[in-house]
Amino acid sequence: MEVKLWNDKREREMYENFAELYAIIKATEKLEKAYIRDLISPSEYETECQKLIVHFKTLSATLRDMVPNIERFAETYKMDCSAAVYRLVTSGVPATVEHRAAASASTSSSASVVAECVQNFITSMDSLKLNMVAVDQVYPLLSDLSASLNKLSILPPDFEGKIKMKEWLLRLSKMGASDELTEQQARQLHFDLESSYNSFMAALPNAGN
């Protein structure tokens, strides 16, 4: 007799998402341990860790109602992945980013502000991937990002991200709250966010180390 794990397409999709979430947490745990043991270079670690964090944020947003607590999810499936939970849930940025920020910590350039900027970049990009393109959804995210970038004294006034976010906020302010970005506008905004994010990472002190 064939045993089905799900009763319908929706239930099947839920279990597939659970499996993907499980895999992301496990992969992050392995990556954290490899980095601690110097089995992977900092640059390789940062690239892979950032990918996992982005995937995690996107997936956890879609599973928010079904998995409101990631720690409980890990406990339920006996995952024993404390390093991954810290990196994905508590920190939200690769260890290398935390270390660079800590090394240059000051009132205006602290690890928490850098982490805030990274988080705002990721959240903004993820929202577009989830088709959250209404003005009243996009504007607050870009406003938070712009504010966090302005907190960092290491970024010059003409920093690419500051200018582009200011331009987008001005453009959005002329639209209605319920108006939505066109597919072309959303694609351009995502490109600008990604480009600004890369410039931001490169601007951090000791980024090459």
Q: Is the pLDDT of residue 104 over 70?
A: no
pTM of the model: 0.50
Give the separation between CA 114 and CA 177, rounded to whole angstroms. 30
Strand partners of residue 81:
none
Give the separation between CA 127 and CA 131, rounded to whole angstroms. 6
pLDDT confidence of residue 138? 92
Tell me the mean pLDDT in the region 100-124: 74
Q: Is the pLDDT of residue 175 over 60?
A: yes
Tell me the mean pLDDT in the region 52-60: 90
Per DSSP, the three-state class of 180 is strand
Per DSSP, the three-state class of 134 is strand
pLDDT confidence of residue 107? 45
Give the separation between CA 46 and CA 26, rounded to whole angstroms. 17
pLDDT confidence of residue 108? 47
Give the separation between CA 138 and CA 40, rounded to whole angstroms. 37
Q: Nearest Cα to 159, choosing from 142, 146, 173?
A: 146
Tell me the mean pLDDT in the region 161-183: 91
Looking at this protein, which amino acid is placed at residue 94?
P
Tell me the mean pLDDT in the region 9-37: 91
Give the separation between CA 115 and CA 192, rounded to whole angstroms. 19
Tell me the mean pLDDT in the region 162-184: 91
Higher-pLDDT residue of 153, 159: 159
For 81, 112, 141, 151, 168, the CA distances from 109, given in Å and listed in that order, are: 30, 8, 21, 8, 25
Range with the largest mean pLDDT of 60-69, 81-90, 111-120 = 81-90
Helices H, strands E: what count in the chain? 9, 0
